[in-house]
Amino acid sequence: MTQQKGFTTTLLHADRLRKPEFGALHQPIHTAVTWGFDDVQDLVNVFQNKAKGFAYSRQGNPTTAALESKITMMEKGIATVSFSTGMAAIMATVFALVKEGSHVIASSFLFGNSRSVLTTFTEMGLDISFVDATSVENVKAACKPNTCMVFAETIANPATQIADLQAIGDLCEEKGLIYVVDNTMTSPYIFTPYDVKASLVVNSLTKYIGGHGNALGGAVTDTGLYNWANYSGIAEVLRQQIKPELLGITQIRKRGLRDGGGTLAPEAAHNLSVGAETLALRLERSCGNAMALAEYLNSHPLVDKVYYPGLPDHPQHELSKKLFRLHGGLMSFALKDGIDVFAFLNNLEVVIKSSNLGDTRTLSIPVAQTIFFELGPERRAEMGIPEGMIRLSVGIEDREDLLNDFKKAFEAIS
């Protein structure tokens, strides 16, 4: 296509424009682990990064490459590396880029497993500060001479705090820090971290991008905004072979994916790629449903508090309006003291009691007893997570069915 097209049109035509065999509209699922070359020089050139191509599927394959190029387009980036899960992508990014003796600043409201993996890195000697990233002042105060990276998320799970994304981006630019933004909760349809000067964007493809709860995957995208030539953590051997703007993402592919081994399977890449085609449609619907549910719950006498950026009393409501196209599909709420949370949840029929988020189906989970159980009551209190909190990932069901399901569940317990 000659002219720049919109978000969904571009996604729908991306595979076809790679000209797969027989005019296929989808990139085929390439299951080959390895590729054969007629001339050994061609194999050598792929190994030495002198020619494009595939040598061994652990570090890349045509099916995952097609998905990566779509994510790059969606995120306004220059290159993407895909992984078997979002956690593999996060693990690989830190592992590939952060050197001994350097310091990382991370949001204290990070996704539980991200916080857990960073904590494991601290046990291996890495210096990490966790700060409340809803104000850039806390990030600034945590900066040390050896700080190399800031890791933030867009909307936190489960209490929906929004990081001071723009101001942190300005700070990272000024200080030359690698700015990693986990965009999972918003997805590139709602927000592109490129716009706040992120260096790297992480997505769990398992969530909104795949969208159907049928495949795990993760990705890291380089926005092209960070000057890797000046970063001391880049391996000398790469500096000799790779264009400066691709040094960071290449090191993630080599050390994070090739050496780490968290490779996305081609079958999963295909499912995620097909799922991504309807990202815009699904998000319009689930964010609309989320807004309606938030308003309903917020005015219900048995509800103590609703956490949703679309509500005017949310602490970062104005920021959410400014930065995001929609306020997201995730919300949490706390029932009034003394109400049996489990009894309430067990009365829901349309809404499924389940982990995961970003599915087409609405999923609910009691937070303190599950995803934040390991933290214990003290850390939960510090993080502002009530013991009776329920997290909802709102799906694309017919709105009346969702509202009626909640009405019925409230009636059953009152």
Ligand X SMILES: *Cc1c(COP(=O)(O)O)cnc(C)c1O
262: closest CA among 56, 52, 59, 62?
59
Given a contact cutoff of 8 angstroms between Cβ atoms, the answer to whether 171 and 142 are in contact is no
- Nearest approach, Cβ of residue 59 and ligand X (Å): 19
Nearest partner of 220 among 185, 259, 260, 250, judged by Cα: 250
C-alpha 127/C-alpha 189 separation (Å) is 34
CB of 309 to ligand X, least distance (A): 15
| Residue 51, phi then psi, degrees to nearest 5 | -140, 150
CA distances from 103 to 108, 122, 345 (A): 15, 10, 42
Query: In this structure, what token pair is assigned to residue 67?
Result: 């998905």
Smaller CB distance to ligand X: residue 218 or 256? 218
CB 26 → ligand X: shortest distance, Å? Answer: 22
**Minimum distance between the CB of residue 330 and ligand X, rounded to whole angstroms?**
9
Tell me the three-class secondary structure of 49-63, residue by residue.
Answer: CCCCCCCEHHHCCHH
Q: Which is nearer to ligand X, 185 or 283 (CB)?
A: 185
Rounded CA separation 273/195 (Å): 24
Any idea which residue has 């709105």 for tokens? Answer: 399
Nearer to ligand X, 242 or 264 (CB): 264
Instruction: Give least dist CB 280 to ligand X, A.
Output: 19
Instruction: Give 72 or 204: the residue with its C-beta nearer to ligand X.
Output: 204
CB of 176 to ligand X, least distance (A): 25
Q: From CA 20, how far away is CA 14, in angstroms rounded?
A: 11
Residue number, 61 or 183, with CB nearest to ligand X: 183
Which chain residues interact with ligand X by CB under 6 A? Answer: 85-87, 111, 114, 153, 157, 182, 184-185, 204, 206-207, 216, 218
- Residue 109 beta carbon to ligand X: minimum distance, rounded to whole angstroms: 10
State the residue number with the nearest CB to ligand X. 86
C-beta of 330 vs 341, nearer to ligand X: 330
Nearer to ligand X, 61 or 85 (CB): 85
CB of 118 to ligand X, least distance (A): 12
Between residues 87 and 148, which has the closer beta carbon with respect to ligand X? Answer: 87
